[in-house]
Amino acid sequence: MPLDHRLSPEHEELRRTVESFAREVVAPKIGDHYERHEFPYDIVRQMGRMGLFGLPFPEEHGGMGGDFLAVCLVLEELARVDSSVAITVEAGVSLGAMPIHRFGTEEQKRRWLPRLCSGEALAAFGLTEPGSGSDAGALSTTAVRDGDEWVINGTKCFITNSGTDITDLILVAAVTGRGDDGSPRISTIVVPTPSPGLTVAAPYSKVGWNASDTRELSFADVRVPAENLLGEEGRGFAQFLSTLDEGRIAIAALATGLAQGCVDESVAYAATRTAFGRPIGKNQAIQFKIADMEARAHTARTAWRDAVSRMLAGEPFKKQAAIAKLHCSDVAVTNAREATQIHGGYGFMNEYPVARMWRDAKILEIGEGTSEVQRMLISRELGVG
């Protein structure tokens, strides 16, 4: 039975609202933020007032009572204009607040979610380490129980939303013990910011996503209350695998938005740029490039909507999430390259949105699981290897 990917009136209204916001509010401002490597606090505040950070969370915890499809629609529409803004929402919702909603106690939810849902505060997901990369289970960060406190030591890298003025929490994946076979027991512990012993490094100098916040974090005997353990001790590995499965769909939606934004910009440019006495859009070579770009964006959208529909239906979706992440990130990179080619020399100028899109696209094949990891996951789901 084919899946129906048509949007409900409520979802379509949300999509249109965010589409207008992205074009009317984000587009005119974000270029300056991007060039200055500056976090767009003004835009984030407006998105908070719109309820975008609280979309999938219950009203009793300050959310909007929506679903994960709503989040993905928001990410696609924001990324059609700018990926820095989109990844700020994605990391804040999928990686920062969602684990608290999924695994936290009622007291933890009531304590932390309202500010996260309102956009007044952000939470970051501290998983990746300098020595682990794609091997997410090879963590060296430790948390040792000392009476009524956890004492945390280690380093995290490439952590989004970890050093803004409104970052309240870091969700830290740490080794809290060893099993009988010597395997690490990984747990998730919530660390407020600031905390004594927590060092937040200066922002990275990045190729893209220059208006988003990404930093290295160091923990030197950071003490937090024992009650800041998120979920059961030793269940952190399962928690972040679940978090990443959902996050891959979100990244796929973001990648689709970037791919569609490349189509939007190329269509507009082809209609106005003239060469040899006529608009370049009259040339079949340009028409075919744009047609292929649109076809890729369409199939990417189908992939992530298939994955999210399975997730919302309570069906297995790990393979579909990996397929969506793999395919949509590839589409984003390809469309960004083609859009830059269509723009010619202007595509290499930062004043044109496609230059940002070209710089932003590559990380989508790396973050939240590389393309190689996605292929590994897909093959495992097929029983290969």
Phi and psi at residue 149, to the nearest 5°: -135, 155
| Alpha carbon separation from 165 to 36, 161, 292, 319 (Å, rounded) | 17, 10, 42, 37
Contacts by 104-113, CB closer than 8 A, 24 or more apart: 104/230, 104/231, 107/227, 108/190, 108/227, 108/230, 109/61, 110/61, 112/168, 112/169, 112/190, 113/57, 113/61, 113/62, 113/63
Element (H, E) at 198: strand 198-200
Cβ-in-10-Å burial (0-12, 13-18, 19+) of 244 comes to buried
Q: Decide: 299 and 332 in contact? Cβ < 8 Å.
A: no
3-state SS, residue 148: coil
Catalytic residue, from 24, 368, 372, 381: name it: 368
Contacts of 58 (CB under 8 A, 6+ apart): 65
Angle in degrees, 0-180, between the axes of helices 9-21 and 68-79, rounded to the nearest 10: 30
Tell me, yes or no, if 368 is annotated catalytic. yes
CA-CA distance, 71 to 75, in Å (whole number)?
Answer: 6
CA-CA distance, 95 to 73, in Å (whole number)?
Answer: 17
DSSP alpha helix (H) spans, 133-183 = none
Element (H, E) at 188: strand 184-192
Handedness of CA 95, 97, 101, 106 (dihedral sign): positive
3-state SS, residue 274: strand
CA-CA distance, 372 to 206, in Å (whole number)?
Answer: 22
Handedness of CA 188, 194, 196, 197 (dihedral sign): positive
Q: Decide: 18 and 69 in contact? Cβ < 8 Å.
A: no
Handedness of CA 74, 75, 77, 82 (dihedral sign): positive
Q: Catalytic residue numbers?
A: 368
